[in-house]
A and B are shown apart, each in its own frame.
Chain A
Amino acid sequence: MKTDAMSRLLTPGRLIVRTGLALVVLAAVMLACSMIGSEKVSLKAVFGGPGARATANPDYEIFVRFRLPRIVLACLVGAALACSGVVFQALLRNPLADPYILGISSGAGLGAIIAVISGLSWTLWGRSPIAVFAFAGALGTVWLVWFIGRLTGKFHVTGLLLAGVVVNAFFSAVIMFLTSIAKADQVHATIFWLMGNMAEEDFLVLWIGAGCVVGGIAALFYISPQLNALSFGPEVARSVGVDTARVRVLAFGIAAGITAIAVSLSGLIGFVGLVVPHGVRLVWGPDHRQLLPLSAVVGAIFLVLADTLARIIVAPAQLPVGVVTALVGGPFFLVLLIRYSRKVSWLR
């Protein structure tokens, strides 16, 4: 029996195999989704290269200019939100936590609407003021919530959560106020952003974003054994020798950072950060060394699929992807929850 329990433990080999398989699935999904859309794209034509002039090979143009950047963006955002959800659930020891629980969403929203209303038209590294303001708003809000949480006590989870809820509510009220005095076209732009929206991005932006997100996830993986201990509570983690203060600041900062990047690239896409970590945990267990990389890949797969649906379901128009994630993710998660909760409690 004892060897049986030992043999079921996570090993580096198993982790590599599982993550590798998940990556293969992701690659297949990306390829398949890049073929789907309002225009038919032939893979053969794509591999033919750009052709002599810019317009010579439309298949290649569509693939490289529109499909690929968008799919890569969906991967990035999905992975970032899913990992951030994992970390917030562990840090706050609350299964209801998601990347937006501490006010990132409302802070980013506020930044975005301020950018829209003020009608700024400059760009920073190809980014519109909306993205820049959203990024700044997201990080500023997290800092504010963290600061208020510190005032209520030394990383008091309840204090932090309450601070998040209150700041969220307050900023949402400000957003509603600004929306009510804004012009109709500005309102439309804001609402589309708030619902979460994918667009084609420059490769430069994608590369920077990818570098930050992948680096962040790698850093989170590095502290994942400590996150395991922290999910038993800070006192327990400390008594088994984890430097809880350092790990918490690191995890909190990285998770907030990659969420802010995701939000500034694509608006407020809900549900990914809540559903994906739970789904992965239900199927593969709570060990963060596995939960983080698998959540990243599954989050990427989920968002690529959702965005493809958003592109084709009412083509040639497009749905905000946030609508699709909630519509698809909700029922899917409920099925998973019922199935695996029963399996876990009966078979084990």
Chain B
Amino acid sequence: MAKMSGIIEINGLSFAYTPGNMVLEDMSFEVAAGTFLAIAGPNGAGKSTLLNLMCGALRSESGAIMIDGAPIASYSPRTLAAKVAVVRQEYVPIFGFSVIETVLMARTPYYGPAGFERQADRTIANEALELTDTARFASRPITSLSSGERQRVFIARALAQNSPILLLDEPTNFLDLRHQVGIYDLLKAAQLEKGKTIVAVTHDVNLAAQYCHEAVLLGTDRSCRHGRTRDVLSAEHIRTTFNVEVFAGEIGSGQFFLPLGEYAKDSTQPKDRPGKMWP
């Protein structure tokens, strides 16, 4: 696939859930095709809101979001699903659909007239199962899976949409260390092998720093920084946007950050400053 610039373009985007209470204000950035972008920031900075705007679940008041050269509002649900796949963090278990049934659901818009998947849909679903290493429990109900396995199944479903863009909301929430890197390895593979444009919302700056080319750092003050991960996720920026003291270290060419709280490590005595942590 030839690389084109700006498969996602955001221009002067503003959004408020209640009038006068802006969550995002005059935000602009562009994502080139084939990029692995992290949207980082503290709780309440509007990361998930931005993601919901980018997948059409929310409509913006002002500003434009262009997906593959066309305004997002010009897409029907069906044509948008062919461009953008979403992995969400909330999941309410109901009715024990199996893993394979769940993944095949991504092909719903392409079912034949009788409402059944075609052979091509099965092949695509199979590839997604293989890529996410979920094929071995394909017939189990998703209610019986661990959260790491289930997250891989939902990524498999998103991959089975065969869309150039993949959006993820906190893909590593509630996962242990091994499963965290497992998910990011998987996303990296989808980026490199399939040329996907991946946008992951996360508050884990370390994973973002390790895996992502580019980052958008949102602050609760509606600030928005966009650029190469190394420039955006600096110790200084993290200190100010997350409002926490950090220790920044280096591994090879990558950076990592350790948050340092009031009571971290060396202090065994209660400090004489109650309530200071939440100004």
**Residues of A with Cβ closer than 8 Å to B?**
1-2, 4-6, 8-12, 90, 93-95, 221-222, 224-226, 228-229, 231-233, 235-236, 238-244, 281, 285-287, 289, 344-345, 348
Question: CB-nearest residue of chain B relative to A223?
Answer: B115
Point out the residues of chain B lying under 8 angstroms from A5, CB to CB: 98-100, 135, 138-139
Point out the residues of chain A lying under 8 angstroms from B109, CB to CB: 240-242
User: C-beta contact mask, B98-109 vs A, less than 8 Å → 1, else 0?
Assistant: 111110111011
Point out the residues of chain A lying under 8 angstroms from B77, CB to CB: 238, 241-244
- Counting CB contacts under 8 A, is B188 at the interface? no
Select one of A2, A90, A231, A344 contacting B138, CB under 8 A.
A2
A240 touching B116, Cβ below 8 Å:
no
Point out the residues of chain B lying under 8 angstroms from A287, CB to CB: 97, 101
Smallest beta-carbon distance B238→chain A, Å:
30
Point out the residues of chain B lying under 8 angstroms from A235, CB to CB: 57, 86, 88
| 3 residue pairs, one from A and one from B, having the closest CB atoms | A241-B81, A5-B138, A286-B95
Question: CB-nearest residue of chain A relative to B109?
Answer: A241
Select one of B94, B104, B135 contacting A93, CB under 8 A.
B94
Question: CB-nearest residue of chain B relative to A221?
Answer: B115
**Contact (A239, B81) CB under 8 Å given A1-B138, A345-B144:** yes
**Contact (A231, B122) CB under 8 Å given A242-B77, A348-B140:** no
Smallest beta-carbon distance B149→chain A, Å:
14
**C-alpha gap A345/B141 in the complex (Å):** 9
- Counting CB contacts under 8 A, is B181 at the interface? no
**Contact (A344, B135) CB under 8 Å given A224-B115, A242-B109:** no
Point out the residues of chain A lying under 8 angstroms from B81, CB to CB: 238-241
B88 touching A6, Cβ below 8 Å:
no
Interface positions of B from 49 to 84, Cβ below 8 Å from A: 55-57, 76-82, 84
Point out the residues of chain B lying under 8 angstroms from A225, CB to CB: 108, 111, 115
Point out the residues of chain A lying under 8 angstroms from B55, CB to CB: 239
Point out the residues of chain B lying under 8 angstroms from A232, CB to CB: 97, 102, 105
**C-alpha gap A242/B78 in the complex (Å):** 6
**Contact (A12, B114) CB under 8 Å given A243-B76, A348-B140, A348-B141:** yes
- Counting CB contacts under 8 A, is B96 at the interface? yes
Question: CB-nearest residue of chain A relative to B95?
Answer: A286
Point out the residues of chain B lying under 8 angstroms from A95, CB to CB: 94-95
Point out the residues of chain B lying under 8 angstroms from A239, CB to CB: 55, 57, 81, 84-86, 88
Which has the most chain B C-beta neighbours within 10 Å: A93, A240, A242, A281?
A240
- Counting CB contacts under 8 A, is B129 at the interface? yes
24 A-B residue pairs with Cβ-Cβ distance under 8 Å, sorted by A, are A1-B136, A2-B130, A2-B136, A5-B99, A5-B138, A5-B139, A6-B126, A95-B94, A222-B115, A228-B105, A229-B105, A229-B108, A231-B97, A233-B90, A233-B92, A235-B88, A239-B55, A240-B105, A240-B161, A241-B108, A241-B161, A244-B77, A281-B95, A286-B95
**C-alpha gap A285/B90 in the complex (Å):** 23
Question: CB-nearest residue of chain B relative to A236?
Answer: B88
Smallest beta-carbon distance B196→chain A, Å:
15
- Counting CB contacts under 8 A, is B47 at the interface? no
Select one of A6, A240, A244, A348 contacting B100, CB under 8 A.
A6
**C-alpha gap A222/B112 in the complex (Å):** 11
B157 touching A240, Cβ below 8 Å:
yes
Point out the residues of chain A lying under 8 angstroms from B78, CB to CB: 241, 243
Point out the residues of chain B lying under 8 angstroms from A94, CB to CB: 94
Smallest beta-carbon distance A337→chain B, Å:
14
**Contact (A4, B139) CB under 8 Å given A232-B105, A238-B56:** yes
**C-alpha gap A193/B256 in the complex (Å):** 72
Known A9-B100, A289-B115; 15 more pairs at CB < 8 Å? A2-B130, A4-B138, A6-B100, A95-B94, A232-B102, A236-B86, A238-B77, A239-B86, A240-B105, A241-B79, A242-B77, A242-B109, A243-B77, A287-B97, A344-B96
Point out the residues of chain B lying under 8 angstroms from A244, CB to CB: 77
Point out the residues of chain B lying under 8 angstroms from A238, CB to CB: 56-57, 77, 81
Select one of A4, A226, A285 contacting B108, CB under 8 A.
A226
Question: CB-nearest residue of chain B relative to A244?
Answer: B77
Question: CB-nearest residue of chain B relative to A4?
Answer: B139
Point out the residues of chain B lying under 8 angstroms from A222, CB to CB: 115
**Contact (A231, B95) CB under 8 Å given A11-B116, A345-B144:** yes
Point out the residues of chain A lying under 8 angstroms from B96, CB to CB: 285-286, 344
Which has the most chain B C-beta neighbours within 10 Å: A1, A241, A287?
A241
Point out the residues of chain A lying under 8 angstroms from B92, CB to CB: 93, 233
Smallest beta-carbon distance A122→chain B, Å:
44
**C-alpha gap A345/B130 in the complex (Å):** 25
**C-alpha gap A224/B116 in the complex (Å):** 10
**Contact (A348, B57) CB under 8 Å given A5-B98, A225-B111, A235-B88:** no
Point out the residues of chain B lying under 8 angstroms from A286, CB to CB: 95-97
**Contact (A241, B126) CB under 8 Å given A5-B100, A6-B100:** no
